[in-house]
């Protein structure tokens, strides 16, 4: 039968419905897809909950979550209701459509098109604006919690005499509410206007009235609400002047009122507030008058007033009153800014003392003796010697030290010693074979502390007080496994059937199984599935290496853990380890901040905490990037246990109202200061990032007189690091030293200042950094006279490099393929003058790590470049200290071995070592380089011969701990692994 289209006859193809089996399959696939997407979203939420519960900070998770949910629904619902009600009202008061104009005929097609879907369209629009508004409100959870829990500062601003808490906690919330109100009014106005236009309440081209009475009244009320909100904004702007940032030619960045603000903007805002209130009432009056005439006049008056009163009048005041006599007009307001800024950054008690910069003592012997009491000069630079620790103490390739080590204090025989310390952390890049089992089950942790005296070296190497594997030394017995550290950035699964590698020695691998209660238990299949999705690793779901007792550890860096449990804190860029009561604890400094302190100038944390170390080393970071603040306190000291990962937050600043506010919001999360043990407090130190923020502020705010501040004659700057070519600021240095007026040395954090745009020294700053002393946090500044010139760090470095004898010696040190690295340039006040000390490290030919070979010292115009600090000091002062040790003769008893091949290699190594020592005495650096190469070759031969003998079972005489070969006394033994 031919088809109806007239085409040729053919078989008819019938397209029937899919079979029941196909429909069932499609429906099943659809359900599975929906369930898969739902579980993916659930996995993120569930794993977060499990993690917070595992660290016992579930209250942080629930408080944050419920606050966000509450804000989302409340403000989302308010916005949806506001927009929805106005659309409904505009539709309800629509005019009857009788005589149709061309405009209305065109719109009629749209009305008919949406008529069947009006209800769904209304729900869709309101849901969309509600979701957007709710998401925006949820992001203000911190603002809400601070407003609800705000604690008074008990300090009032000098302009409005309101407590500082109004600006820090209340004003941000009021501004959010105002912004939300503006958004609701504008969206409602737009939605209502469109609805009125669609249904004829507003007309553009039709003859007759442009708006119906109902539309006029409705839109007038919405406009009145908008103008009323503008009136509120003008009133809040009055208080906002106290925390307003602006550019001030005399001082740069400025916060608070100036003369023009107090005498022009402030009265202008008050006048505009009154005008806006009247204008809003005129809009509301259209409900009765049904005319736009008066509201439009009022609105025009408000706009004109904003231009004339709010813009032109302040410009006239600035031009004709302030500029001709700026210092006199601005001085009272600058004085308020000075006081507030110094209080907000904790620098108001800074003690500035005049310091001559030159010594008056002629007795050089006395000066030489005074050096020993003035400072324990740390010649081991923690920012240089990490490769040395790595080479001498890494032991195995799957361990590593951070690029920057840390400085701490440890006592021995009742005497404190500045100590350079680092942890032997896990390095996955160094394991023999990377695969999923090795990376996450076998190699899970680092092992042991390595520490060295900060003030001593031996043959250029650190004098270790804790070393080897397992680590032994002055620190006694402690839990050595390191499951949480700065370099531990991947997850590990521990405690299950798969054994973990603890460490290796001559007898082979030592294994362990994690015994802590940290991490999340994977015995539950739902947990395994959630982590398989969250980490995008299906093997977690079905791997046989996971069994009873298996736990997953993640978020393992100290900074990550503290940030997670206290998201309201700003975390210092450098956590440091300490051995306390038999455990390795990471100590993390944390800050409370606000940008709402009236009159206090703002600073950008990312800029002020950056220096030459943050620019060149990725494990030391800046704080909070571009976060601007004008109040900061080191209010919390946090600890993270390196084995269990346990996080503890301790209240450190008991007076800080910001911390008290957060403690009300998150009760039970911060432990009281009295719970800090003396053993733990002994390792607390003044944080570097806070010190860097304070020193940056003190470049201008060290003065207390407004006139001096305005002239800018006393502006300082933090000098660039002369030992680093990055062009960034010199980092502060920890040093045990005695400032003028102190009776004994104190562990301190120090820095220098130079005049703005010049390189000579302006001042020296130190803060007592030992938390165990009553003077902790006391800032002292030694201000040098402006009438004389004292060399600054850059000038000192330049003189070091330009002196003929020193330059020649450095060229010799650089001979062959050797390289020079300058250590920290330390500054020590001494008898009215300033002593500069800088260690000089050499990476000799064939050596992969720096050794301290020279020390630069200068004082009072005298400079020395000697092999040891004592020799350099003796030369500078022309006298020898009574405490100086006898000179090292460089002789040592050669090691022995029963293996002839090993013994021959050791004899050759001892000869090379002796030749190197003799070359050092003769300042023959070419011969020294050759001797070092011969030494390394001989040690390598000894190691190979010993390994061959061990393999043959010929005994292990002469083999060192950790599998290292013996070497001549005072020389490094190459580590295996």
Q: What pLDDT digit, counting tens, does each position of 696-736 carry? A: 999 999 999 999 898 888 899 999 988 877 778 899 999 99
- Under the phi-then-psi rule, with left for phi > 0, alpha for psi from -120 to 50, and beta for the rest, what region is 751? beta
Report the Cα 299 to chain-centroid distance in Å: 48
Of the chain, the percentage scoring pLDDT greater than 90 comes to 50
Least confident of 28-37, 233-242, 432-441, 710-719: 28-37
Does residue 362 have a pLDDT over 90? no
> Which has the higher per-residue pLDDT, 52 or 361?
52
Does residue 424 have a pLDDT over 80? yes
> Which has the higher per-residue pLDDT, 666 or 97?
666
In sequence order, what are the beta bridge partners of 520? 552
Residue-wise pLDDT tens digits, 900-934: 776 777 777 777 777 776 766 665 656 766 776 77
Least confident of 189-193, 226-230, 482-486, 955-959: 955-959
Alpha carbon distance 152, 714 (integer Å): 35
DSSP secondary structure letters along 558-593 = HHHHHHHH-TTSEEPS--EEEEETTEEEEEEEEEEE
Does residue 17 have a pLDDT over 80? no
Question: Within 10 A of 659 (CB to CB), how many other CB atoms are there?
Answer: 24
Q: Where are the beta strands (DSSP E) in 609-729?
A: 628-629, 631-641, 647-651, 670-671, 716-717
Decide the pairing of beta strands 631-641 and 647-651.
Answer: antiparallel
- pLDDT at residue 497, rounded to an integer: 87
Give the pLDDT mean for 223-249.
Answer: 91
Least confident of 96-105, 165-174, 451-460, 671-680: 96-105
CB 58 within 8 A of CB 64: no
Does residue 71 have a pLDDT over 80? yes
Does residue 738 have a pLDDT over 70? yes
Decide the pairing of beta strands 603-604 and 628-629.
Answer: antiparallel
* Tokens encoding 369: 């003796």
- pLDDT at residue 954, rounded to an integer: 37
> Which has the higher per-residue pLDDT, 103 or 584?
584
CB 184 within 8 A of CB 78: yes
User: Which DSSP symbol is given to 797?
Assistant: H
Alpha carbon distance 211, 208 (integer Å): 9
Residue-wise pLDDT tens digits, 320-346: 888 888 888 989 999 999 999 999 999
- pLDDT at residue 162, rounded to an integer: 96
Does residue 956 have a pLDDT over 60? no
* Tokens encoding 127: 């849901």
Least confident of 219-233, 427-441, 763-777, 842-856: 842-856
Does residue 968 have a pLDDT over 60? no
DSSP secondary structure letters along 673-689 = GGGS-HHHHTT-B--HH
Judging by beta carbons within 10 Å of its beta carbon (0-12, 13-18, 19+), is residue 267 exposed, middle or buried? middle
- pLDDT at residue 881, rounded to an integer: 56
- pLDDT at residue 972, rounded to an integer: 37
Residue among 927, 893, 919, 889 at smallest CA distance from 907: 893
Least confident of 374-383, 643-652, 893-902: 893-902
Does residue 423 have a pLDDT over 80? yes
Residue among 686, 704, 701 at smallest CA distance from 600: 701
H or E element in which residue 125 lies: helix 118-138
Highest mean pLDDT among 252-256, 275-279, 918-922: 275-279
- pLDDT at residue 923, rounded to an integer: 57
Does residue 5 have a pLDDT over 60? no
Alpha carbon distance 218, 148 (integer Å): 35
* Tokens encoding 884: 């100086």
pTM, rounded to two decimals: 0.84
Q: Given pLDDT bands bounded at 50, 70 and 90, which one contains residue 958?
A: very low
Residue 937 phi, psi dihedral angles, 5° rounding: -60, -45
Alpha carbon distance 800, 822 (integer Å): 11
Give the pLDDT mean for 891-898.
Answer: 51
Peptide bond connecting 470 to the previous residue in cis, omega within 30 degrees of 0: yes
Give the pLDDT mean for 640-668.
Answer: 96
Give the pLDDT mean for 672-679.
Answer: 94
Q: Where are the beta strands (DSSP E) in 78-122?
A: none
Does residue 228 have a pLDDT over 80? yes
Of the chain, the percentage scoring pLDDT greater than 70 comes to 86
Residue among 35, 37, 31, 54 at smallest CA distance from 524: 54
Return the SS3 of 778: coil
Judging by beta carbons within 10 Å of its beta carbon (0-12, 13-18, 19+), is residue 674 exposed, middle or buried? exposed
The average confidence (pLDDT) of the chain is 85
Does residue 957 have a pLDDT over 90? no
Give the pLDDT mean for 57-83.
Answer: 96
Residue-wise pLDDT tens digits, 279-324: 989 888 887 776 777 778 888 888 888 888 888 988 999 888 888 8
- pLDDT at residue 138, rounded to an integer: 95
* Tokens encoding 197: 């236009």
Return the SS3 of 368: helix
Give the pLDDT mean for 126-155.
Answer: 95
> Which has the higher per-residue pLDDT, 75 or 370?
75
């Amino acid at each position: 039968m031919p088809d109806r289209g007239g085409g040729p006859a053919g078989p008819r193809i019938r397209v029937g419905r899919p079979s029941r089996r196909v429909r069932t399959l499609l429906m099943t696939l659809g359900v599975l897809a929906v369930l898969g997407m739902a579980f993916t979203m659930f996995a993120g939420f569930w794993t977060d909950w499990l993690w917070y519960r595992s660290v016992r900070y579930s209250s942080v998770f629930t408080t944050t979550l419920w606050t966000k949910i509450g804000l989302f629904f409340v403000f989302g619902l308010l916005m949806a209701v506001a927009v929805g009600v106005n659309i409904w009202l505009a539709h309800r008061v629509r005019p009857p459509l009788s005589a149709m104009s061309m405009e209305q005929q065109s719109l009629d097609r749209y009305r008919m098109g949406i008529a069947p879907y009006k209800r769904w369209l209304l729900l869709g629009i309101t849901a969309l604006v509600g979701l957007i508004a709710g998401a925006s409100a949820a992001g203000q959870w911190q603002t809400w919690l601070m407003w609800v829990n705000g604690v008074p500062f008990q300090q009032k601003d000098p302009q409005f005499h309101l407590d500082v808490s109004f600006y820090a906690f209340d004003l941000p919330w009021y501004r959010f509410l105002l912004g939300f109100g503006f958004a609701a009014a504008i969206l409602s106005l737009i939605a209502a206007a469109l609805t009125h236009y669609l249904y004829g309440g507003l007309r553009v081209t039709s003859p007759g009235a442009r708006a119906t009475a109902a539309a006029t009244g409705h839109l007038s009320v919405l406009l009145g609400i908008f103008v009323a909100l503008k009136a509120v904004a003008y009133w809040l702007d009055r208080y906002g002047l106290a925390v307003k940032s602006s550019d001030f030619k005399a001082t740069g960045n400025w916060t608070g009122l100036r003369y023009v603000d107090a005498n022009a903007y402030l009265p202008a805002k008050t006048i505009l507030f009154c005008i806006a209130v009247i204008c809003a009432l005129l809009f509301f009056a259209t409900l009765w008058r049904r005319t736009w005439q008066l509201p439009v006049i009022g609105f025009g008056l408000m706009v004109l007033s904003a231009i004339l009163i709010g813009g032109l009048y302040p410009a006239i005041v600035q031009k004709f009153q302030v500029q001709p006599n700026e210092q006199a007009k601005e001085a009272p307001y600058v004085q308020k800014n000075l006081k507030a800024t110094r209080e907000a950054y904790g620098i108001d008690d800074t003690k500035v003392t005049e310091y001559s910069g030159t010594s008056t003592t002629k007795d050089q012997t006395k000066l030489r003796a005074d050096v020993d009491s003035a400072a324990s000069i740390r010649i081991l630079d923690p920012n240089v010697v990490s490769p040395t620790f790595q080479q001498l103490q890494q032991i195995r390739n799957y361990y590593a030290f951070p690029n920057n080590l840390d400085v701490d204090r440890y006592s021995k025989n009742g005497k404190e010693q500045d100590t350079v310390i680092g942890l032997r952390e896990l390095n996955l890049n160094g394991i023999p074979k990377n695969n999923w089992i090795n990376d996450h089950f076998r190699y899970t942790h680092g092992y042991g502390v390595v520490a060295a005296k900060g003030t001593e070296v031996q043959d250029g190497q650190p004098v270790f007080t804790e070393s080897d594997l397992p680590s032994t030394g002055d620190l006694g017995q402690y839990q050595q496994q390191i499951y949480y550290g700065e370099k531990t950035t991947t997850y590990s699964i521990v405690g299950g059937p798969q054994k973990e590698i603890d460490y290796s020695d001559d007898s082979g691998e030592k294994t362990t199984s994690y015994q802590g209660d940290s991490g999340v238990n994977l015995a539950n299949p739902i947990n395994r599935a959630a982590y398989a999705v969250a980490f995008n690793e299906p093997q977690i779901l079905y791997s046989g290496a996971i069994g009873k007792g298996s736990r997953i550890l993640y978020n393992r860096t100290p900074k990550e853990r503290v940030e997670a449990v206290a998201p309201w804190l700003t975390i210092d860029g450098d956590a440091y380890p300490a051995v306390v009561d038999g455990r390795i604890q990471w100590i993390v400094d944390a800050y409370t901040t606000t940008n709402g302190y009236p009159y206090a100038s703002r600073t950008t944390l990312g800029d002020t905490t950056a220096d030459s170390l943050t620019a060149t080393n990725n494990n030391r970071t800046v704080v909070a990037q571009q976060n601007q603040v004008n109040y900061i306190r080191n209010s919390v000291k946090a600890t993270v246990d390196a084995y269990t990962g346990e996080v503890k937050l301790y209240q450190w600043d008991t007076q800080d109202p910001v911390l008290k506010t957060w403690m009300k919001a998150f009760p039970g999360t911060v432990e009281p200061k009295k719970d800090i043990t003396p053993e733990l407090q002994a390792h607390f130190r003044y944080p570097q990032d806070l010190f860097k923020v304070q020193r940056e502020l003190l470049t201008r705010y060290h003065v207390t007189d407004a006139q001096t501040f305005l002239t800018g004659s006393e502006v300082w700057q933090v000098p660039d690091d002369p030992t680093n070519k990055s062009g960034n600021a010199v980092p502060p240095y920890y040093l045990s030293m005695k400032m003028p007026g102190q009776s004994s040395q104190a562990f301190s954090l120090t820095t220098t200042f130079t005049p703005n745009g010049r390189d000579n020294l302006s001042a020296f700053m130190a803060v007592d950094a030992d938390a165990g002393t009553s003077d902790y946090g006391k800032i002292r500044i030694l201000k040098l006279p402006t009438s004389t010139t004292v060399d600054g760090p850059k000038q000192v470095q330049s003189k070091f490099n330009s002196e003929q004898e020193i330059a020649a010696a450095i060229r010799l040190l650089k001979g062959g393929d050797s390289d020079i690295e300058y250590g920290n340039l330390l500054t020590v006040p001494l008898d009215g003058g300033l002593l500069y000390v800088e260690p000089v490290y050499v990476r000799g030919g064939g050596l992969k790590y720096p050794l301290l070979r020279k020390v630069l010292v200068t004082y009072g115009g005298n400079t020395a470049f000697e092999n040891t600090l004592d020799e350099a000091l003796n030369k500078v002062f022309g006298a020898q200290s009574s405490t100086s040790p006898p000179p090292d003769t460089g002789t040592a008893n050669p090691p022995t071995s029963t293996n002839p091949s090993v013994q021959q290699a050791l004899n050759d190594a001892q000869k090379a070592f002796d030749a190197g020592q003799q070359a050092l005495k003769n300042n023959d650096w070419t011969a020294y380089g050759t001797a070092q190469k011969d030494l390394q070759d001989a040690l390598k031969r000894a190691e190979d011969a010993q390994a061959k003998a061990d393999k043959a079972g010929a005994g292990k005489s002469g083999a060192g701990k950790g599998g290292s070969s013996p070497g001549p006394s005072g020389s490094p033994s190459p580590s295996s692994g």
